[in-house]
Amino acid sequence: MEKIVCTCILTLFCVKFALSRLDGLKTVESYMNICMLGKYHKSSPSPEKGLVSKFCSPWAVRSCCTEETALDIHVNSAWLNFDWNHCGQLSSRCREYFIMDSCFYSCSPNVGPWLVEDVRKIRKERFKNVPLCEKVCDNWYEACKDDLTCTDEWAKNFNWSTGINTCPHGSACRKFSEVFQNKASTFCEKVFGSFKVVPEDPNGGGNCFHLWFDPRHPNPNEAVARRRASEILNVEYKVVQGSESNNGHNKAVQLDSRSTFVVSMVVFTAVLADYVK
């Protein structure tokens, strides 16, 4: 009996261990070259020359989304079956910010250090506590504060029984300003539960993300991600100019998680053999 319990626990442990590719990230470059594990994300960032749609175009140099996804975000008012207009039509200014956010979510190659596991049909990972610059959040909130919604946590509270999000029973449509208690950071952090609002370092240290930037300029978020990856790995942060190259580090990551899997299976088999005996 004890052996069965022991084997079960070990099996669960091995399976969990083998499946978490995030545990295999051991270098700053591996954090830089990873996209969210999801149905609508590429497996790793690479150039997308055709990424011309306005709000996704900054990511053309190194992108986690395809051209099709980028276009869909701009033209489809129910992208991923999400009805933005669940309380009447969103204002175009507010809608633009949500398009920007969707582009960031789908295309940004810089969220590696903030990925955590998730269990959904369309994705197995999500990002959490991604540092969003306070100014960016303030502008987004300003654009939306007079628009209407019926719940503060869009990732959790909607009724999906019809296949598209509708307001849950008993939750009336109210202004964003009321739903989010007049606070920009409450809005940015709660609405999808993925951001943490932080004031931008006045010395330009690159401590927070921009949702959008002028595509003619280099991606300001690269340094933010590199810094965080260095922190996680406890290695010295190195400034890298024009870090657009995608060298063979993905292969290293895959190998790493594969060897973890093999080791886990060997242990599992050994225990099982012992148990059967």
Ligand X SMILES: *[C@@H]1O[C@H](CO)[C@@H](O)[C@H](O)[C@H]1NC(C)=O
Q: How many residues of this chain bind ligand X (CB under 6 A)?
A: 5
Maximal C-alpha separation, the chain? 70
Look-up of token digits 């029984």: 161
Query: Which span (106-114, 144-152, 154-162, 238-246) binds ligand X, by CB under 6 A?
Result: 154-162
Determine, following the binding rule CB under 6 A, whether residue 153 of this chain makes contact with ligand X: no
Under the criterion CB under 6 A, does residue 230 sit at the interface with ligand X?
A: no
Least distance between ligand X and beta carbon 161 (Å): 4
Q: 3-class DSSP state for residue 218?
A: coil
Among 2, 5, 119, 169, binds ligand X (CB under 6 A): 169
Residue with tokens 């657009």: 244
Helices (H), ranges, the chain: 2-19, 28-32, 67-75, 92-107, 134-144, 176-179, 184-190, 221-233, 249-276
3-state helix, strand, coil in the chain (%, to 5): 45, 10, 45
**Residue number, 17 or 82, with CB nearest to ligand X:** 82
Nearer to ligand X, 65 or 150 (CB): 150
Task: Check residue 241 for interaction with ligand X (CB under 6 A).
Answer: no
90-118 core/surface letters (b: 16 or more CB in 10 A; e: else): beeebbbbbbbbbbbbbbbbbbbbbbeeb
| For ligand X, the closer CB: 170 or 242 | 170
| Candidate list 50, 168, 199, 205; residue touching ligand X; CB under 6 A | 168
Torsion of CA 230, 235, 238, 244, to 10 degrees: -50
Binding segment (CB under 6 A) for ligand X, from list 28-36, 132-140, 157-165, 233-241: 157-165
162 or 234, CB closer to ligand X? 162
Structure tokens at 68: 């099709």
Of positions 27, 46, 159, 185, contacts ligand X by CB under 6 A: 159
Give the closest residue to 224 by CA, choosing from 127, 139, 154. Answer: 127
User: 88 or 168, CB closer to ligand X?
Assistant: 168
Q: Residue 173 interacts with ligand X (CB under 6 A)?
A: no
Task: Tell me the DSSP string of 170-186.
Answer: T---EEHHHHTTT-HHH
161 touching ligand X, by CB under 6 A: yes
Q: Which stretch binds ligand X (CB under 6 A): 92-100, 162-170, 177-185, 201-209?
A: 162-170
CB of 149 to ligand X, least distance (A): 15
The answer to whether 86 and 191 have CB atoms below 8 angstroms apart is: no
CB of 123 to ligand X, least distance (A): 23
Binding site for ligand X (CB under 6 A): 159, 161-162, 168-169
